Each structure stands twice: as structure tokens, then as C-alpha cells.
Chain A
Amino acid sequence: MISRSEVKHFANQSPRFDDMICSLPAGPKTPGLMVGETRKVMAIARKFNEEVVRPYALELDRTLHENPDFLPWDFVEKANEWGFYTMWIPKIFGGKGYSMPTMCYFVEEIGSACLAMANLIGVHYLGVSTLNATWNMRLISRLCRDIVAGEKNHTPCLVTLAITEPGAGTDVEEIDLVDKGSVTCQAQKVDGGYKINGSKIFISNGHLSTWHMVIAYADLDKPSESTVALAVKTGTPGFSFGRKENKMGQKGCPASELVFKDCFVPDDLVCMDPAQLAKNKRPVREINMQMIDYVVSATRAGVGAFATGAARGAYEAAVKFASETHVAGKLLINYEWAQCMLAEMYKNVALSRLSYVETNYANGIYGFFREIQKKPMYYYYKMMPVKWLEKMVSSMTEKAWATTWFRKTQFDGQTDEEICRTSGWASLCKFAATDYGIKNCHMALELMGQAGLRHDRGTEKILRDAKLLQIYEGTNQLNRLNLFKCLVAPEHPQAVVFEE
């Protein structure tokens, strides 16, 4: 009926089979144990919700209403006690080594009870992911061990990503924009390291974190080609915290300004700079974009999971209200229109979840998690006792060739199509799920009327919290443009993006 070459030909027609669906090809390659692992992670999150999050969520939000300068160390210490800051740190560095896609299920759960608390845990992994995406094995090892030590010593060690600047938010997310923008945070090469000057704003968990993955630029006129990723520790001379924002929602999770004045960062804390990339296949500029794409392909799925949590929190509040409230003499849940509204909300939750699951399948076969999720690797790391791993693998990470090898396989080994597929799906997930999240909050508040407006009922907080999801990790507008760039424009050579 059809020849092999025809199958190839038609499957590659737009929309290409490989772009359309990631879960189908990924399914058979996915280690079976991940099902049980995911179920366990979800259960842990539910237990934590019951014991810690729900009893404290409204009180924390209220405290911040009253005192915007409050820092939720108490919660961070609790999360540290429960082991959440090392859950997704690889076992070879002493972490618990849960596979990355499970984190999304975890933050969906926590986010369904409190988005600020989900961020207090989840955003740490935005910093960790950025570190990982530089594939600098020596520094990954060093910082991860610090995080693990922080858990053991009961002194939480969190990591941030600091990329946004006062004059550049959208611009720093996109290599085609950054050169036209006005970035000002400079990393100037000096003897033995870099000197940073400038500031970063809106940095989630800033005041609470020990390490900061700072993205600065050696040449402010050509930032795309001179990006420097540095690990800066709180307390480093020349680095201080500026203002802490007073936000509409997610109040429990601080957004901080980081200020650098002649802050010296030694070479051994430089995670990635142009000189380190000289031997890689792609030009430095493209690797810098690839690095951002590695990060956001994973973390935008995470934002999708936060949003699924928000959509679910709103849905759960609405269904609870409808099933215990009589309106005009009849239980609200027994109005047909209310049933349709609740079904619509349920659908929004399910579709949001599917979007992050699909994105993670893409990451599993084309992106960040590709190596670690290969069955032999996965089972090797799962089954090997930590001590053995430490002996066999850990010493390797100190060697320069380990970084070179990882960068070769990860940067050079990923095709342009694979970058587009993972980044495009992540953007789709990000704006679809966060729009659904907001939609469900609106519907819940409409269904609940006056009761929904009250802080003590918890629903209005979900709306305030969820709005942030449409803004950070690239505004939803930027993500729409990125989807276009990654999944539409390649099929239409005449299309140019970010150049009107």
C-alpha cells in the first residue's frame, strides 16, 4: 500500500509526525519503574500538603500582607527537613536522584494547595537546572554537594537563577533580542576570574538562597556572544541583596534584587563562558541559546505543572463549595449549568497536565533528560548503592574531560530539530497551562460569589498566585512567539521572528 520511503516522506510533511507527538515514541523507551516512582513522589507531596502546606498556607499569605518583609525561613527549613531540596539532585552527588519528570507531578500537588510554597521548593530547581545546563561537571558536583550538606546540617542551601535585569526581562530570554536590548550587568574578565557590576531583579527565593546562578555579559554590546554564567555565593564581597518586592500574590515566595558592585568571582566558580565553548560545534551565540532552551524546556514544563496545580486548586475549591452550598433552595452541585462549569474546569486541569507530561516526554527523548532516562542508565543509577556510585563516578566529575565529554554529547549531540521540538512544546505547555490556570480561577470565583472573595476561604489567593505564572519564565506573549519560532517558522522559510 505504501513504501518505506513514502512513509518517511508523508510523516515528515507538516505537521511532522515527530513534532506532533512525543509520548508515543517515548513510551517504549521510558523505564517502567518511573510509574512507581511518580506515584511515590505524588504521595509524598500529598502527605506534605496535609501535614505542612494546608495548615500554614493562608497564615503565611496573611503574614506577608501584614509584613511584606517577612521571610519564610520556617517553611524552607521544613522543606529541607523533608529532603525536598535534594530530591532531584543526582545520586552520584549524594542527592535522592528522583527522575526529573516526577518533579512536575510533585509541584502540581503542592501547587494545588499553595503556589507560593510550591515555588519555595520548585524554583530552587530552576537554579539547579541552569547549573546543570552548563554541563560544568566540577561545579555541578560542588554545588550539589553543598545542597546535600545543607540538608544534613539543617541549614537549607538553595540555588536561584538570576537573569532578569531592570532594563531587560523578555530580552534576556531570547538571543535574537538580547543584542538589541539594554543589558547592564557586566562580567568583566580580570586576572583569575570575573568582576561583576550591575543588578538583577525579581529573583525568586533570592533572600533565602545560598548560591545564585548569575547570567552576566562580558561585552554589553554583544551579550549573545559574551554570556557568562557564574556561581555566586551569598556573602561574597561586592554582592548584596537590594529590595524585596511587594507582590500581588505568591507572597510567601520572595522576589529579590541582587546588587553587584565590583564583585569578584574566581575562575573556579565560572560555570560557562565563551572561552570554555571554543571546541564545541555550534557558534557560542547558538550554544548560549541552547543552554537557555535546555533550562526552559524543563522549567516551563514545571510552570505548566504549577499552573495545573492552580487550575486544580480552583476546581477543588469550586466543587467543594458547590457540594455543600444551597443556592436558592437547591444544592449548587445539582444545577446542570454548574455541573457543566465544573466539567469544563476538570477538562482544563486534565489538558494542562497532559501538556506538561507531553513536554517531559519530549525532554526525555530529545532534551535534558535524554541520557539519564535511557533504560540502562536509569536502572544503573537506581539500583547502584550510593557508595559504589561515589567511588566509580564521582571522582570522574572532577576531571576536565568530563565537562568536555558532557558538552560534546549534550550541546553537539542535540540537533536543531530536537532543540525546536523541546523548546516549542515547553512554550506551548507554559502558556496553555497558565491560561487554563487563570481561567479556572475565574470560573471558581464566579461560581462562589462573595464566598470566593474572602481570604479565609482560600480561593481568591489562588487567582492572585496564578497570575504570576503568565508572566515569569518568559511572558506568555514571548512563549507564543517562541512556539512560532520553534514549531511554525521552520516550515515557512519566509517567516522572520522578532524583526517586525
Chain B
Amino acid sequence: MIAGKDKELKLLDKASTEFAGKQLAPEREANDKYPFGPFFDTVLQKAHELEFFHVMLPEDLGGIGHGMAGLCIVLSNICREDASLGGILFTHTAACELMIAAGGQDRVRTIASESDDIRKFLIACPVFNNPSEIAHLARAELKDGKWVINGSLEYVVLGGLAGHALIPAKTGNNDAAYSWFLIDSAADGVALSEPVMSLGLHACPAVDMTFHDAPAELVGSEGTGESAFFGMAAQMQLPVAAMSLGIMKGSFKEALDYSKGRFQGGRRILDWSEIRMMLADMVVKIKTGDMILSAACRNADENTPGWQANAAAAAVRIQADACDLTTDGIQILGGIGYMKDYGQEKRFRDAKHLQALLGLAPMKKLKLIEDMIR
């Protein structure tokens, strides 16, 4: 739907669908065992080789410049099969967008061209937090003309995997504005927890980080952290919605397929009209999600006035729908749906997990109205 008649986007659509079907679907349950099973490095590397991590980045920064629509297509297709990889792609892209919004384009360009090793290339970021909502941020100060960071930060996504981490820290007293800093995850003074066991996105792990005079690089100019975050968040609402939409599509397909083959009361459960009603409700959510997301993507890529409010509204709607839909996605499979051997329980967890991206859900809603009445 988002690709419309655009040939390049159609190709991207095809490539990412194929990749998800071949590389992600068969090992979905095994990959979800992380950290109690191996990490899916090979798949990640393949996604890197297919340049999925460069989709949204403009060409002058070393990307392939498919814009918001391109990223949403890739994320939606990937999350249909396994949202963990979607989470990795999202986090890295959000970090790049943050750096760009903070004025660190040059640094993004070097990172984009820096490494063939995906782990070194990736940027970790606390994408579930809006730093303005956090009570105690880490602190950065200049020592001998170089920035160092002290303090701690919870739930830095990809923290244990990525070569770099983009960290918010305050440079003055408590009331001061914060800034974004890039750190080398392996540097002295940076301590990482074990991967934090979480509800969903098991193979997109997060860690808690502690800093003791950890060397850091200021991204852009001091005190611009909040405006950079909101600049990034306004855009990245759409990929969040695309991920939720992908999960919905996967859940619907599995429910529909199952209902055709499962018999109760002497007929396919698909032939009980209550099951059809549930499936119909799913279709309504998916179709409306598809429409509002593609309209919102178009608005964003064309910079239509008010596109930010459209994007935020689309995300709130689609994320909430994904939580409801995946609940029914389990329900239609009955007891089987609750088991780890099938994708439905994972989709249910992942949908809820994604709803927490970019800050508290109710605060994101309030921001929408605040921006409108400002």
C-alpha cells in the first residue's frame, strides 16, 4: 500500500518481504530464545548487506535515500515475521535521525561508511525513553578539554551489541537542558549490565549502562538534546506504526490460516460466525492502519503542513490496535496460541513492547494536543 506506484519502493517491498519470509520466519521461535539461546548474527549481517540499515538515510550521508516510505515498508515486512530485527533497525535509524537533528550529520556520514561489521556499525540508543521524562539523567563535564560522562542510564537498546551508543546527558545543574553524546561502548569507564530480560523483542536486547568518567563525544551543540529528540520522535512515530502494522498482518495471517484447518463442533472454526467476526475486526484494523499510515508517510515525505500531528495520531491508533488485534490473534488459536512454538504469543508481546517506544504512551498523546494548542 505505501509503495504505491513507485518502482523503487516496490522493489524494496519485494526484497524485504522475501528476506523476512526466508531468513526470519523459519527461525523466529529459536531466535526469540535470546539471551538464553544464540544471537542471530548471520541474519543481522544479511540485513546489513541488503542495505536495510541505509534505507532512510539521505544519499549525501551515505544512505540510499528511500525516505520515510522506504523505511516503513521494510519495517512492516520484517515485523510481520519477527519484530526483533525491526527493533534493531528502528533503534539504529532513530539514533542516526537524532544525530542529524542535533547537528551531527558529519558523524553519521562517517559511521554509515565506516564498517562492514554490523555490530561495530550499529548505534545503541535508549529509544524507549523520552529523556525529558526521566528524573535523573547522567551528567557530562569537560575534563582537560574532553567530555566525560558519569551516572547511569536504563534500558539502552542494543547497548550490549553496538559499537557506539548515543546517550543523553546534562551538562549543567539539574534544570539544565540536556545534550546527546556518542560513546564507544567498549571504552574504559563504560559498564554494561547483562541483557535486560523483557516482555518482547528478545533478540533486540537492551542493557543498563553505568558511566565513570566515560569518554564521550558531544553530538551537535550543547543543550539541544530536547529539540533533537522531538525532531526525531516526530518522524519516527511512523516507523513505529509501520512495525505495529506488520505485526498485525502477521498475526492475522496466522489466525486466518489456522481457522481454515482447525475443526471444532464438526466444522472449520472459520465457519463459526463469531470467529469470522473476530477476523473481520482484524481486517478493519489492518486496512485502516494501512490507509492512515500510507497517508501519513506521504504527508511526511512531502512535508505537508501538520504532518507531525498526523504521524503521531497514526502511531497512537495503530499501536493500540496492534495490542487488541494480537490478543485476538492468540485467542483464535485457542490453547495453541499461548505456546512458544507458534508466532502468535510473540506478536502479542512484541506489539505491547513497541507501544512503549519513544516515551510513555499517555505522555505521547498529551504531546499531540499540546502541539496543537500551542
Contact = CB atoms under 8 A, between A and B. Distances in A.
Interface stretch (A45-53, A140-148, A162-170, A278-286): A162-170
A81 interface: no
B244 to A, nearest CB: 14
Interface in B339-362: 339-341, 345, 348-349, 352-353, 355-356, 359-362
B349 A445 contact: no
A248 B349 contact: yes
Contacts of A338: 362
A449 B135 CA distance: 14
B128 interface: yes
Interface stretch (A31-39, A93-101, A289-297, A323-331): A323-331
A272 to B, nearest CB: 24
Contacts of A170: 264-265, 334
A328 B334 contact: no
Nearest to A168: B264
Most buried by A among B199, B200, B267, B339: B199
B197 A65 contact: yes
A139 B327 CA distance: 41
B353 A453 contact: yes
B265 A481 contact: no
B338 A467 contact: yes
Contacts of B263: 167, 181-182
A170 B273 CA distance: 15
Contact of B335 (A202, A337, A438): A202
Interface string B272-304: 111100100000000000000000000000000
B331 A248 contact: no
Range, interface on chain B: 35 or more
B224 interface: no
A171 interface: yes
A472 interface: yes
Contacts of A341: 362
Contacts of A467: 327, 330, 338, 345, 348
Contacts of A468: 338
B196 A169 contact: no
A245 interface: yes
Given A66-B36, A450-B155, A475-B331, A181 B338 contact: no
Given A445-B356, A475-B334, A498 B265 contact: yes
Contacts of A452: 199, 356
Contact of B334 (A68, A169, A325): A169
A177 B264 CA distance: 8
Closest 3 pairs between A and B when the two form their complex, measured CB to CB: A180-B266, A460-B199, A455-B197
Interface of A: 62, 65-66, 68, 164, 167-171, 177, 180-182, 201-202, 245-249, 325-329, 337-338, 341, 438, 442, 445-456, 460, 463-464, 467-468, 470-472, 475-477, 480-481, 498, 500
28 contacts: A62-B197, A169-B335, A177-B265, A180-B266, A180-B267, A182-B263, A246-B340, A248-B339, A248-B345, A248-B349, A249-B338, A325-B135, A327-B133, A327-B360, A328-B133, A337-B362, A446-B361, A449-B128, A449-B133, A449-B361, A453-B198, A453-B199, A454-B197, A455-B198, A460-B198, A460-B199, A477-B274, A480-B274
